[in-house]
Structure 1
Amino acid sequence: MVPGSVGFQCPECVARGARETRQFQLPYGGERTNDPKRTTFVLIAINVLVWVALLATGGSTSPLLSYLALIPEGYCVLPGGEYIHPDPAYCASAGVPWAGITSMPWQAITSGFTHVQAFHIASNMFVLYMLGPIIEQILGRARFLAIYFVALLGGSALAVLFSDFGDSHIGASGAIYGLLGATALIAFKHKGDFRRMMTWIGVGLVLSFVNISISWQGHLGGLLFGLAATAAIIYLPRAKRNLQWPLLGSLGVLAVVLMVVGVLL
């Protein structure tokens, strides 16, 4: 027998209780992490390393941009930079590399870690630093990362669907808007003050549509997919939590399908 607070308990009962009591489980099924800031710091470090690599190789003229930026409709810039040509065969005959998501599908992810302007990366990383650890504390590391990457893919999906020829997209804004949406939805569910967050989201979206240098597609896609991913986590009843990951995976697949549709249109 094992001594208890009142009397004794059988060893089998203690073992069963230990199995059934998940002291490190968070409210929505995630596992509590010792340092919820670590994941955010790793994401920030990746973004900063890519930014430094671009600065070291020419900044906005870096050849790395052709490989990292999201280019929905591929093109190459002919010698002298006087004309952008969309035909891979013509570009090859001219000895100029052709770049686009159809031949470089990783652009859907790498574009979300690519920045050129200091203000761009600083503003995105500041929001990531503020929101990332909070979301991980509530949902756990795996679910936080799932929202981040689903939102990133969602931003890329709308960018591919609604871009014009010659457009290219960079920045973590799609993922960041996904985190903004996640924070607002969590606050709404717990009857917190979500209106201030929604105000910031609304202002940001308006600026996205007004300023042609900002990818409204990435912002809106990241927000919508981030909201959907968060809803799949926090609104499923406890008995249905085994559906969280299939739903998150389905959102990722949907983003990929939308990108394929955008390429074919």
Structure 2
Amino acid sequence: MGVRKDLKRARQRTDLAVRTKVETVRDEHGVIREARTAPLAPPAPTGSTADIPYTNAVEAPDAVVLRRRQGATWRPVTAAAFASEVTAVAKGLIAAGLEPGGRVAVMSRTRYEWTVLDFAIWAAGGQSVPIYATSSAEQVEWIVRDSGARFVVTETAENADTVTTGTARHQDPPHIWQLESQGLAQLKELGRDLPDEEVTKRRTSLTPATVATICYTSGTTGKPKGCVLTHANLYAEAANTVELLHPIFKEVTRQTASTLLF
């Protein structure tokens, strides 16, 4: 899977107004109960979202795909550098014992390292389990137990304490890495001697139907409920967004593209 070719194809679209017509289904009181529209992009027949960093690295290795803040400056991250970092972290997860289909929970606010982790977990054949950074120990306990996550990556020491407290009575508590305590660096070191080919083997075995992530609800009305999303689900979101919003993707106008995380 990749998105750069999708961007180029999207520039040629002239029929979006017709293709994005929304159909609604109303009940007897006129209340809209369902809204649907035909997909703008075809489903991916092969591969997974784990392929995207590597596709970008081959097609445009020197293109700046992200900028990460370090101190008071913003450092550019090229497609090649990002793919390399994803591989290094994926090797660490494999060395730590992550098996294909295994779950890794991530308790953090949105940040660069989360993006690396998501792709690394997928490249290692795993499934990511996001946890709100504000979740209570009780909520964390349930999500970790219900998902079967054996590993948790937290952002702060406070998050790590919440996970430790919540899973203290688990028969096999998860292993925890902390981003603000060099968690990614520790993973990279752990997998340093593992060949890159192990990551490639796991990544290329994934299909669109492979589970990518389990997203839990906030739990405000009861225990959080997990929604299972496949790589096909995630790719459909990205590909259809490109088709619909291609004018704002400035790559197609040969201007510098950027990514906004919020």
TM bucket (normalised to shorter chain) is under 0.3
TM-score, normalised on structure 1?
A: 0.24
TM-score, normalised on structure 2?
A: 0.24
Give 1 or 2: higher strand fraction. 2
Higher Cα radius of gyration: 1
Give 1 or 2: higher helix fraction. 1
